[in-house]
Amino acid sequence: MPRRYDPDRRQRIIDAAIRVVGEKGLTGLSHRSAAAEADVPLGSTTYHFKTLDELMVAALRQASEGFAEVVASRGGLEDPRPDLAAELAGCLGDWLAGDRTGVELEYELYLAALRRPALRPVAAEWAEGVAEQIARHTDPVTARALVALMDGICLQVLLTGVPYDEEYARGVLARMLPRPGS
């Protein structure tokens, strides 16, 4: 039987893996569950992703684009002199106000890097990418600290169910920034 040409199959498998994690958590993801969700033969998932870690890396890379898309859509970090604390707090607000499942999924895959070393470089890419954008407006050490604080704020919102407070976030982010003239 001739092989069917299916150029989107790899992407469908990644999308399916993200849906599986969103519905069943990371422990529910396997080659078999991704194949079933994507409606492809099991061999297709193992052809495109030799290991489950490879599939998770692809899913994390795609899922982690969510925050970057929010930052890009707002455009505030492109301004030469933004109110950095307000812009970052606004980005968090827009991101958390969007598809909550997507945000939870990003963090679930991001935190999976604690136990899965293959995911660590992708998790680091996300943090480094955001820090690079912020560092255009402050020093690199402060930029990394702001990313860590934003991570903490997001985790608290996700884990406690407390609504995101943009004014609070703006205030604490502003405390981390150097004061003008200092």
- Compute the distance between CA of residue 10 and CA of residue 13 in angstroms, rounded to an integer: 5
pLDDT at 69 (0 to 100): 82
- In terms of pTM, does the model score above 0.85? no
pLDDT at 76 (0 to 100): 82
Residues 6+ apart with CB under 8 A from 71: 77, 91, 130, 133
Residue 10 exposure: Cα atoms within 13 Å on the Cβ side: 9
Out of 1.10.40.30, 3.40.50.2300, 3.40.1390.30, 1.10.10.60, the CATH code matching 9-61 is 1.10.10.60
Out of 1.10.357.10, 3.40.50.920, 3.30.70.330, 2.40.50.140, the CATH code matching 64-175 is 1.10.357.10
- Compute the distance between CA of residue 74 and CA of residue 105 in angstroms, rounded to an integer: 22
pLDDT at 1 (0 to 100): 46
Domain map (residue ranges) of the chain: 9-61, 64-175
pLDDT tens for the 182 residues of the chain, in order: 445 677 899 999 999 999 998 889 888 999 999 999 999 999 999 999 999 999 998 988 888 787 778 888 888 888 888 899 999 999 999 989 877 777 888 888 788 888 889 888 888 888 888 899 899 999 999 999 999 999 999 999 999 988 999 999 999 999 999 876 55
Q: Which two tokens stand for residue 96?
A: 């958390």
- Compute the distance between CA of residue 93 and CA of residue 165 in angstroms, rounded to an integer: 8
